[in-house]
Amino acid sequence: MFALFIAALFACPVNAQDAQKPEAQPQSGSAPAQEADKPKPGPGQEPDAAILNRIFACLAEGLPQDWKKTWFVINEVGRDEASGARKFEANFFFATDVKDAKGKPLTPCGAQRVVEGVGALDAYLPEGQRRWTGATFSFMRDGAFAANYDFTPRKPAPAKPAAKAAAKKADPGKKQK
């Protein structure tokens, strides 16, 4: 019974670290002051743990109890150079064995929420690394986390071929060379 209790404690370390209830705050409005004291995200800073927790919480909604690792691969599929808007697609996986590199499909709470979370992490990357074209984010059951970015330039979609000119029919009276 004791072993079951210990196993339950370590079952999902990210969720085990629930936020503490905030202490009663004076009515003088100290909450906005705390937000003002919080440094803005920037290169070289540790990513905000709340962002990572939101991403994982979304993934966790679809995980079975016996999962060992979960990951997602996100790729840029379009870019509007004028506005800077980018479009992404993501594929989600989980495995019940840490050595399983293929995994099984995972349905998270919503791909858009995960993509937005990844976008929020961009503020922590150096300016020159914010135009990544792909990334793999991995979460292990023991709480380990990894993010690997791909900076390979995205190949634009192939241009549509121009309409072919109407084929000229050979004139039977002329000799062909």
What's the pLDDT tens digit per position in 69-112?
Answer: 999 999 999 988 888 889 999 999 999 999 999 999 999 999 99
Q: Write out the H or E segment, with its range, that includes residue 135.
A: strand 134-140
What's the pLDDT tens digit per position in 67-80?
Answer: 999 999 999 999 88
CB-neighbour burial class of residue 58 (10 A; exposed 0-12, middle 13-18, buried 19+): buried
**Domains of the chain by residue range:** 42-157
* pTM, rounded to two decimals: 0.65
Instruction: Evaluate whether 43 touches 88 at the Cβ level (below 8 Å).
Output: no
